Structure 1
Amino acid sequence: MPFEPLTHEPAVDPAQAREIARDVVVIPNLGVDLVPNIGVIGGSHSVLVVDTGLGPRNAEKVLAFAAEHARGRRLYLTTTHFHPEHAFGAQVFADEATYLVNSAQAADLVHKGPGYLEMFRGLGTPVARALDGVDFVTPDVVYDDEYDLDLGGRVVRLAATGRAHSKGDQVVTVPDAGVLFTGDLVETGQFSIFPWFPPYDTDVSGPRWIEVLGRLAAAGPDLVVPGHGDVSGRRILTDVREYLELLRDETWKRRDSALPEESIAAEVEALMIERHPEWEGRDWIAKGVGCFCADHSGHEAAGTGEAAEGASA
């Protein structure tokens, strides 16, 4: 979610799709802002689409690609979280696919979806055009913690992670292929996206995010499909976790000083850019500092609760 208005169309390009494992296809975002990596996962009788692209027109392209790939197999749709470029095309699939999400994400769509729609419409004419006609649909299947989806000779696991990048984050694992779709829990080539917009949205949790990435890395996937950026090996999970830990530590080191938050953010941003000069999305560093400052204000007292929440996710 960039801060400057976009001047280009955030267009999904199915012509660039590539197979990363047997019957696991990724339509890559190719570094285009507000275009996610989209997955198409096949079994003998069904195909699962992961994320829709921004708005109905992108989703129509994704649906057409998935239907051609499916060749008569049943279609399912899931979304990694409720943010517009990942989920705001679900309506296009309404009569063609069964839509599955976790309960926290379903609640995010209801309570936060309209506000994010208005916010994103302010990101420039191309974005507003892509979001024209968005309608929110009720998922067909809502689960709480985990859901095993049988595609025929292949079971794909949908799992709610608990609060991290958002309250409703979900990962999608293809165990027989060693592939993990993370949504915006992981990006490659850019600083982690912190949707820290007080007072409107403060659900992102840096400490919980770090815990989630530790669990995902321990599962040992072979390939990781991030929300944005190149498909990578499992090391990316550790790289992102280590970045978040450094961001946390440098922020908390300064949190109780007399420095105002703006000065803390400037100092930490300089350190992070020095460490990762090639990464995009530098504006997200200050958002992360704000998030960690808020978490630190009660992190010792809340530590037991955070640990319990992580254990139940």
Structure 2
Amino acid sequence: MEGRWVEVADRVLVRRYAELDLSVGLVMGDGGCLVIDTRGDERQGAELLAEVRRITRDPWTVAITHSHFDHSFGTRPFLDCPVWAHEGCRADLVENGGRARDEWARYYRDLGRPDIAGDIARTEIVPPDHLVTDRIRLVVGGRPVVLAHLGRGHSGNDMVVHVPDAGVIFAGDLVENGAPPAYEDAYPLEWPATVAGLLDLLDGTPSPGPGGAVVVPGHGDPAGRAFVVAQHAEISALARLCELVSAGLLSPADAVRRSPYPEETTRIALGRAGRP
């Protein structure tokens, strides 16, 4: 999907980027559209804006699935428009966005990518101005869209975007395809229940087509229910290992051996398991 839009359902498009294997979304209606995530800096956001404009001239609304830089730092070029996210997303960007910008600029500089580092360093972080606590229903170009916080998981402010008439859910990084889920900012013990809520949402989403409901992860290819079920089993298994280690019933080394994920991912999850 790199460099082109792919329509995964009626007027619901996904655009993929090689950098971080990122997926962003576009939901089009009649007279309005919804942009889902804005990429990782102002230049990338402006590129995305130009690609949206190639598809539609309608006014947009923006939804941010969570506060991590690669999903939220590209918002500035889209203003002025409503920017929706979970209330914790705004809090995290206000309190920690500047530090995250410096850390990621340094990361890319050390990686030998001064171009990306400079773009991130020059980015103005724009917090969302329309906030979701639990869930809210929008109408975008005549189409219903539900924004829902199902619980903590990949972050403390994960929000999914449900397009019920198309049978599509944009899951952010609650689901990741092609790489292990990222636990650096996660809540490993709560993540399984949150993905169980995502499965409940899927089960209540009739698909207008023969292929079943579509889940768009924050990274990697769109997938179906079976993929989410499999990933739920994996993160549940890792959560149980975290509980056993915390209770002193299992050593970290044994947890690594029994984990469905690589050692680095597992040790990060073990370190996060005790966080409130």
TM-score by length of 2: 0.86
Shift of 1:137: 2.1
Residue number in structure 2 paired with 1:55? 41
Distance 2:221 2:127 in 1: 31
Residue number in structure 2 paired with 1:200? none
Structure 2 unaligned segments of length 5 or more: list them: 206-212
Helix, strand or coil for the counterpart of 1:142? strand
Helix, strand or coil for the counterpart of 2:77? helix
1:24 to 3, 8, 12: 12
Shift of 1:258: 8.4
8 A Cα contact 2:5 2:13, kept in partner: yes
Residue number in structure 1 paired with 2:264? 283
1:191 to 159, 180, 185: 180
8 A Cα contact 1:29 1:229, kept in partner: no
1:36 aligns with 2:22: yes
Q: Once structures 1 and 2 are overlaid, which stretch shifts more, 98-107 or 246-255? A: 246-255
The equivalences for 1:165-204 within 5 A come to 165-196=154-185, 204=186
1:243 to 234, 239, 261: 234
The equivalences for 1:12-161 within 5 A come to 13=2, 15-30=3-18, 32-33=19-20, 35-70=21-56, 72-95=57-80, 97-125=81-109, 126=113, 127-161=116-150
1:269 aligns with 2:256: yes
- Structure 2 vs 1, CA of residues 207 and 257 (structure 1 numbering), >3 Å: closer, same or farther? closer
- Structure 2 vs 1, CA of residues 237 and 140 (structure 1 numbering), >3 Å: closer, same or farther? same
8 A Cα contact 1:81 1:183, kept in partner: yes
What are the Cα deviations for residues 269-289 of structure 1, in whole angstroms up to 9, with x where unaligned?
Answer: 3333xx56xxxx763221112
Structure 1 unaligned segments of length 5 or more: list them: 1-11, 197-203, 299-313
Q: 2:164 is matched by which residue type in structure 1?
A: P
8 A Cα contact 2:63 2:84, kept in partner: yes
Distance 2:246 2:125 in 1: 40
Number of corresponding residues = 262
**Percent identity (aligned):** 28
Distance 2:138 2:243 in 1: 41
8 A Cα contact 2:159 2:171, kept in partner: yes
What are the Cα deviations for residues 78-127 of structure 1, in whole angstroms up to 9, with x where unaligned?
Answer: 110010000001111113x3222222211111112112112212212224
Helix, strand or coil for the counterpart of 1:284? helix
Q: 1:181 is matched by which residue type in structure 2?
A: F
TM-score by length of 1: 0.77
- Cα RMSD (Å) of the superposition? 2.2
Distance 2:196 2:26 in 1: 26
- Structure 2 vs 1, CA of residues 257 and 162 (structure 1 numbering), >3 Å: closer, same or farther? closer
- Structure 2 vs 1, CA of residues 20 and 252 (structure 1 numbering), >3 Å: closer, same or farther? same
What are the Cα deviations for residues 178-215 of structure 1, in whole angstroms up to 9, with x where unaligned?
Answer: 1011111110122111124xxxxxxx322221111111
